[in-house]
Structure 1
Amino acid sequence: MLDRIADPRGRRTPYGPPDAVERLAAALPGRMRDALPPVIRLGSPWPVRVDVFLEDGVAEDDVECWVPAASAAGSHGEAVDLAVRGGRVVGVRGRAGDRVNHGRLDPREWPAWQPRPGRLTRPLVREGGRLVESTWDVAMDRVVTRSRHLLAAPGGWGRIAFHTGPRLFLEEHYTLAVIGKAGIGTPHMDGDTRGCAAAAAAALAASFGTDGQPGSYTDVDHCDALALWGHDCAACHPVLWERMLDRRLGPGPPAMIVADPDRTPAAREADVHLAVRRGTNVALLNGLLHELLANGWHDAAYVAAHTVGVERLWRTVEAYPAKRAAEICGVPVARIEQAAEILGAAERLVSTVGPALLGSNQATAAACQVDNLHLLLGMLGRPGAGLFQLGGPGCDALETGSAGDLPGLRNWADPGHVRELAALWNVDPAVIPHWGPATHATQIFGYAEEGSVGLLWITASDPVSATPGLDRVLAREDLFVVVQDPYLTETALLADVVLPAAAWGEKTGTVTGADRTVHLCEKAVEPPGEARADLAVLLDYARRMDLRDRDGLPLVGWTDAESAFEAWKACSGGRPCDHTGITYDRLRAGGVQWPCTPAGSYGAERLYAGGRFATEPGRCQTFGADLATGAEYGEERYRADGPRGRAFLHAADYEPSPEVADDEYPLVLLVCRAPRLSPAPPYLEVHPGDAAAYGVEEGDLVRAESPRGALEAVVRLSGVRPGAVVLRLGGRSEAEARAAAELTLTSWDPVSRQPLRTAAAVRLVRVAPRPGEPAEELTPVEGVCSAATPLGHGVAVRERYEEV
């Protein structure tokens, strides 16, 4: 964790904003900037600092070669170089010339490249209930035989489903999208992005016409105000946080607002911390929007020229003066007013939206309200006026169509977009699933449980470790499960066929970061054993399935990563995510932002300059939906609103959520999950005031009870906010993590279908006597089912572990 003064390596690099001339130069198109005199700085003033992580005993002089790659630690898209020695990756360093990180590394970067136990080197198939090693031919023949059997029956296209993780390259995501949507014609394609990025993507498309982050990381250089909505940037995006801190420590520091329930390092740094009650983000934002409109702290000319719906918005937020918003969200009135004054006075505002908002009650509606804020202030499309909906990794899955929507940010409800894809792929338009929204991940698992999905292919994802009860679903005898992964995960243990995949650094491809910067990752080392690149596996499947277009030619005509990228470029041409001006050779010189056309091959640093939005019918990605119910509006209503390239201001009333505490369950339980559990038992962090009210002390064994179940843990007194308890999982088994997940709220956002499993209203009951205290004094609560040992939960996985 980074503190304010020094990072773990003891270095800070404070810097100030560019001057007015440099800011004007930054707003010009790339070719015009090149014509400016050299005296004008054209790059970011953020100083370069090259971080290096190397294996113990390895010096930089020992490295045989450095191979370009991109961050494996998150979605921010930093460029890195991999140190190779003896055919192994022995270190990583930040790339000095990269526009995203200027040589810095996420502290999690080197651990992300470390080998983990359970690496797969040969295909596995299930024989007699056990996974045994096999050949590629045997494994792929089983997958193809099952696929053909399902497709031969009426409606067979609906019997096959794909679930994908974010760790594929863009070329692999696009290839999978073509196989699934044009070759098989299944609507059942989604993935991990549904659990982290769906609400962010839905809000951007609803407000601006299509997905795509409007801002550039360089906006931090220019801004005079920073607003962090629902995330601890220090933990989630350390390199971006370093950039913010360096600005804050330099001359002319920007003001900072943090809206987050917890007192995180980012919240402690902020000038104004809005400690919003969980699940009430819409109420807080409505209060801020009310203050901006009521006090005239907005750009009325910009709103009139470039937006639709300001009257509807005012009718909604008029009912949320600061006092009422404060009562709902638990933030003092003075804090809301202070934050509104900072926002209203800002000349250049950067907002970042994170998981505490995007994974909470009314997620899409709340994210749209942050979009509203920038539209009211005219804070888009110019240096220092940036907006980032940081849902998590998965940009490439969303753009290419391997997770949900159609490739190229196209609109499934627009017949013209379907015909474009059909012409590109040379298939009948009827083959492409477009009769309704794509099946979201939770629904895919539901279909698998019902038996309507007969083959589920899971690539680069381990959903069993994060989804309670999914182990029972994947263990069904009538479900054929294919898992493609570098490691023998919990999900792989339940598969009928396991295909060993290459990891990053063992294959070539591109990846897109959070500010639309595309980086090329070159192959640095060979994958172990018989493991193959994901692209090679998908191409092999398409060949064995003999997928063909209308002319009888192979549907998937590319053969390697670069030709796959060229095929994707043709799909992206003319769309908001246009990649036609990007080549592998260009990327070898450094990252390039999309959209990028051959005529303007520098890429667009910011979207929506001049208030031009992708909302025209024929260009937009969605025709809109009701923020409360998720009901699709349709093209007729969309045209009636007459966007004509203007953005939408969306109004949303606050709706209470079950995660908000009440009289019976007065505390909010927050679960902190970790990918690797320590040997310590789980414990609950409790505020001393709450502990006194419940009669519990440090070290007591208590039961946290919710309407869904209960879990026992040891109390630790801490500085968490009153009314909240934090469950820190460090258990000896994965079953404890699942039990905690079953305790918390399980639902999904009505618009984005993003699962919401973030918190639960609970009460505490002490269950063990202290030394010398009679046990009879503790009265157990009847009628509460213990989620600590849920019936059947984890049984399938444990059995498969024993088999292997």
Structure 2
Amino acid sequence: MHRHDQQTAMEPAFAPPKFQTRDSIEDIWGPRTPYKDEWPTRVDQSCDAEPDSWVQSACVLCSNGCGLDIGVKDGKVVGVRGRATDRVNKGRLGPKGLNGWRAMHRDDRLTHPLIRRNGRLERASWDEAMNLIVAKSKELQTHLTNHSIAFYTTGQLFLEEYYALAMVGKAGLHTLHMDGNTRLCTATAATAMRESFGSDGQPGSYRDIDYTECIFMVGHNMAATQTVLWSRVLDRLEGPSPPKLIVVDPRVSESAKRATLHLAPRAGTNLALLNGIQHLLFKNGWVNTDWVSKHVVGLDELQAVVQEYDPQSVTDITGVPVEQLTEAARIIGTTGSMLSTALQGVYQSNQATASACQINNINLLRGFIGKPGSGVLQMNGQPTAQNNRETGCDGEFPGFRNHKNPAHMEELARMWNIEPIQVPHWNEPTHIMNLLNYMEAGTVRMFWVNCTNPMVSLPNLPRVRNILTQPDLFVVAQDIYMNETTAIADVVLPAAQWGEKTGCFTNVDRTVHISHKAVDPPGESRSDFDIFVDYARRMGFKDKDGRDLIQWTKPEQAFEAWKKLSAGRPCDVTGLTYDRLTGGSGIQWPCNEKNPHGTERLYADGKFFTDVDYCESFGHDLETGAPLTKEEYERLNPAGRAILKACHYQPPPEEPDSEFPLRLSTGRNAYHFHTRTKTGRTPLQAASKEPEVDISELDAVNASVSDGEYVVVRSKRGAVEMKCRVGRRTRPGHVFMPFHFGYWDSTDGRARAANELTIDSWDPVSKQPHFKAGAVRIEKIPEGISGPFIREPQSAAVLEAEKHSAASKATTGVDDSRLERQMELWLGETYESTVQLLQIYGELIPQLIRHDQEVEAGLRVLSRLAEAMRARLEPHVRRLGENKQRGQHRAHVLRQALFPSPEDVSSSPSVAYEVLETLQGLAVYLSHIQSSLTALAPVAQAMWDEEFSQAVTEAEKSLHRQLAWVKQQVQTRSSQTLLVPVVPRSSGRNS
């Protein structure tokens, strides 16, 4: 792996550790211990001094979750060593695990709260900071409702902290405005498992590497993202009977260099490639038909879709040669076992969920689920992303419950002792890209950012900076160091970090570890758990019996409460305790009375979490992203079987052109984690000092640039300036750059954050942004430029933030008399539409359709249903108020457009045709009311108004019955009316 020797002014100086088993920066993956079946133990260690004691923990600097012990001397962390007993790593640690701890005692730690006063962040007490946040929260509750407050969290907290935050947001504020930066890295992993298997939760196990005959890595450079897991793969490759390794990656990564077969598709074409592999599995009879017939649904639809992806068509789309595609399918189709993995090359790319589902499909078609050496690891990008999803702090609901299943939501309400309507389940939780839209529109006015750095990590940073520095947006940032986001915040809360608090977390293969507190946090820093519990207390959150909503004060109490919520769900941990997790290895969930020692693999019995009453989701249309209804899901009838999901390939949202001819991809390297809040303050910084853009030799020639030269990389959204590295790692037409670098430690003034360039589009199902999409060009910097050519924009954002003080934002600054809610306008329109509908039934249609006994009889029933619908809505219109439309109602306009006056009916060719036209118009009008009610249903729930919600639900049922009658009439009459010729009225004869 390429390294550089230039040193920046901000780079910390570190003496070599006194006790270390290897220099993990120079030797990333360590010495080989070849094996098969049982991975040998090798304990890695790095210490600055001989510890007085060792404290059990696990690494939180990638998603692998390696067990380790923290060495403590004189109240300070002085080193780490791998835990030899741990099932995940058998004592090994990677460069981040062996070096990350050295950031803990840096002098620039945040040690006390900060409040922006007179534009500047100044020291404050905890009471001042929390009282200000609470005052803002309550002010917004009064003027703009709870739905003006949003939370954006991380993939690095402990389970207990996530659960506290979930209760604050979902049970305390009853809001859906909760997301995490896990949206940026693993939302697709969770979504794909829900689509295919009925619930989140990795089917496979790390131990499958020990037995497998084939590893299929799609969009996953394991050598950089999970270095210890890659060591395990390397040891298998060096041992007896090594597995075949197929790597799908446009780049010649370190992982690809060891591949038996490297497929390098054009960025954004994963789906076509995977469809092509499935095409060949069907064509060559490599489908395990006996297993599939018993354990999956959706086979015929999938086979019909992939039939179109013959090898030559796939080659035309992807650029992968026919011979390579055929060989990949042969290896997959004939191997006795296979472990598949995926990461950001799938999740952050075009058609992410659809592609991830095809990986699941391939394993299902071969029957490679739940068996030793076989399975799927839809990888996470962060160490505790799984807990974020389990507890419901982002796009999920606690315990992998289905928000469309009333029984699941009522169960949550019982456990939290709140009213069912207060559980926010009228929609899926709001994803970060929509939160940005709401902030931009001014309907979200408080944004609480926890342990993440969106001013570097979100796509299209120019837009993000403009939004997060708006004068009316109150930003709270909770972190361990200053960064680009804390720099523009109104309140900064100093948090304790790993090693300074106790809690549990779950890694990629469902292994739960405990991390015990080893040292005290510096200064006045508090754990995220304590901060959230304190906020709940100060806000006065109560259950329906008037007791404190959050009644626990210690992490272990929160864990015991979480166990009750997990009971009976896929992530059941009722068999775990702090004592059981202490002293040995991590344990995989589910761990309960049935599985007291944990569960190596899910679905070993061939039964999936897809029963309609148990599943976490009813699934989606993979192309449009539209959620399926319960009725549509029931028609699939999965009943404990996995679901094969099919989808056609569509090109990426932004393709290269003559102005921007190159495809952009961003990603990780082995030395840094996210925006380097920790790793940039360790010896790892010396190994990767600044970002560089990888380009091919051909593209370097076309741009007239050379290796090591500073260049401009420009997209339609922005530009950055960095060194280029020219070589064969990147295929022609593609560029790659790391996303780790922002501006907190930059000294040269250059724009360098990769997300200055990225496109703010996202997958329609998982809502994960497309970081591996978008078009750019490389520009040579004109000669004679001495300073930065493209200047960094962060300083301007900080200056914008300094124009305002937090105190001035503590109130809305808006006169209540000027606030106007739009719900009353919509409600008034909906009500007027029902009034008009009664007139249409009673007056208009009888004039248009005469002497049709079936229509006349039907109209009497429809009028009764419509009157019941109007009567149900009327008291709520009176109670809530009707903001009447200025000018003519849309209902009037639509009525006039759909229904001609009686004197105009003679233009119809026949009476029968006239009836059909009138019924069609009625169907359109009813659909208009239906969409109006569709909008009101979540509004009523978001108002926590049970009576209003019931009224809307009853109105929807009534409307559905009316629409069903009309559609049936259209269907019954159409064939005879439209097929059998008649003498037109214009010929002087009535039909």
Whether TM exceeds 0.5 here: the answer is: yes
Match of 1:280 in 2: 269
Q: CA RMSD in A?
A: 2.6
Match of 2:109 in 1: 119
CA distance in 1, matches of 2:710, 2:155: 39
Match of 1:758 in 2: 772
**Distance change (3 Å), C-alpha of 1:487 and 1:124:** same
SS of equivalent residue, structure 1 residue 756: coil
Match of 2:756 in 1: 742
2:204–2:377 Cα contact (<8 Å) kept: yes
Q: Does 1:400 find its partner at 2:409?
A: no
CA distance in 1, matches of 2:619, 2:789: 39
Match of 1:83 in 2: 71
2:118–2:804 Cα contact (<8 Å) kept: no
CA distance in 1, matches of 2:510, 2:709: 49
CA distance in 1, matches of 2:504, 2:93: 19
Task: Quote the offset at 1:601 in angstroms.
Answer: 1.1
Match of 2:796 in 1: 795
Match of 2:452 among 445, 461, 465: 461
Which residues of 2 match residues 6-25 of structure 1 at below 5 A? 7-8=27-28, 11-17=31-37
Task: Quote the offset at 1:321 in angstroms.
Answer: 1.1
CA distance in 2, matches of 1:141, 1:734: 39
2:28–2:94 Cα contact (<8 Å) kept: no
**Distance change (3 Å), C-alpha of 1:462 and 1:735:** farther
CA distance in 2, matches of 1:112, 1:410: 35
Match of 1:516 among 510, 517, 522: 510
Q: Does 1:447 find its partner at 2:435?
A: no
SS of equivalent residue, structure 1 residue 563: helix
More off after superposition, 306-315 vs 662-671: 662-671
Q: Does 1:433 find its partner at 2:424?
A: yes
**Distance change (3 Å), C-alpha of 1:74 and 1:738:** same
1:669–1:761 Cα contact (<8 Å) kept: yes
Amino acid at match of 1:624: G
Which residues of 2 match residues 651-800 of structure 1 at below 5 A? 651-671=646-666, 675=676, 676=680, 684-698=693-707, 703-711=712-720, 715-719=724-728, 720-727=730-737, 732=746, 736=750, 740-768=754-782, 788-789=790-791, 794-797=795-798
Match of 2:833 in 1: none
Segments of structure 2 that go 5 or more residues without pairing to the other structure are 3-22, 806-991
2:471–2:804 Cα contact (<8 Å) kept: no
Match of 2:568 in 1: 574
Q: Does 1:216 find its partner at 2:205?
A: yes
TM-score w.r.t. length of structure 1: 0.89
Match of 1:28 in 2: none
Amino acid at match of 1:100: V
1:188–1:439 Cα contact (<8 Å) kept: yes
More off after superposition, 422-431 vs 683-692: 683-692
CA distance in 2, matches of 1:420, 1:681: 50
Which residues of 2 match residues 123-522 of structure 1 at below 5 A? 123-153=113-143, 156-393=145-382, 394-467=385-458, 468-469=461-462, 470-522=464-516
CA distance in 1, matches of 2:666, 2:550: 44
Amino acid at match of 1:741: N
Task: Quote the offset at 1:671 in angstroms.
Answer: 4.2
2:721–2:751 Cα contact (<8 Å) kept: no
**Distance change (3 Å), C-alpha of 1:693 and 1:539:** closer
CA distance in 2, matches of 1:803, 1:96: 53
**Distance change (3 Å), C-alpha of 1:710 and 1:73:** closer
1:471–1:797 Cα contact (<8 Å) kept: no
Alpha-carbon displacement from aligned partner over 1:384-434 (angstroms, at most 9, x marks no partner): 112101131211000000112210001111111110100111101111111
CA distance in 2, matches of 1:631, 1:594: 31
1:701–1:768 Cα contact (<8 Å) kept: no
Match of 2:55 in 1: 67
More off after superposition, 455-464 vs 468-477: 468-477
**Distance change (3 Å), C-alpha of 1:222 and 1:91:** same
**Distance change (3 Å), C-alpha of 1:49 and 1:365:** same
Match of 2:523 in 1: 529
**Distance change (3 Å), C-alpha of 1:471 and 1:689:** closer
Alpha-carbon displacement from aligned partner over 1:194-231 (angstroms, at most 9, x marks no partner): 00010111001100000011011111111111111102
SS of equivalent residue, structure 1 residue 748: coil
1:685–1:728 Cα contact (<8 Å) kept: no
Task: Quote the offset at 1:8 in angstroms.
Answer: 4.6
More off after superposition, 687-696 vs 458-467: 687-696
Task: Quote the offset at 1:475 in angstroms.
Answer: 2.4
CA distance in 2, matches of 1:519, 1:217: 15
Amino acid at match of 1:796: A
2:751–2:791 Cα contact (<8 Å) kept: no
Alpha-carbon displacement from aligned partner over 1:265-291 (angstroms, at most 9, x marks no partner): 111101100011100000100000000
Alpha-carbon displacement from aligned partner over 1:509-557 (angstroms, at most 9, x marks no partner): 0010000000000000001111111111111111111211111111111
CA distance in 2, matches of 1:672, 1:305: 40
Match of 1:47 among 21, 31, 40: 40
Task: Quote the offset at 1:446 in angstroms.
Answer: 2.2
**Distance change (3 Å), C-alpha of 1:338 and 1:568:** same
1:710–1:787 Cα contact (<8 Å) kept: no
1:464–1:471 Cα contact (<8 Å) kept: yes
Amino acid at match of 1:566: E
CA distance in 1, matches of 2:491, 2:721: 37
Task: Quote the offset at 1:797 in angstroms.
Answer: 2.4
Task: Quote the offset at 1:185 in angstroms.
Answer: 0.5
Amino acid at match of 1:761: A
**Distance change (3 Å), C-alpha of 1:117 and 1:318:** farther
Identity of aligned residues (%): 46
Amino acid at match of 1:348: S
Task: Quote the offset at 1:317 in angstroms.
Answer: 0.3
TM-score w.r.t. length of structure 2: 0.73
**Distance change (3 Å), C-alpha of 1:663 and 1:290:** farther
Count of matched residue pairs? 754
**Distance change (3 Å), C-alpha of 1:442 and 1:736:** farther
SS of equivalent residue, structure 1 residue 336: helix
SS of equivalent residue, structure 2 residue 102: coil
Match of 1:598 in 2: 593
CA distance in 1, matches of 2:714, 2:117: 42
Amino acid at match of 1:54: C
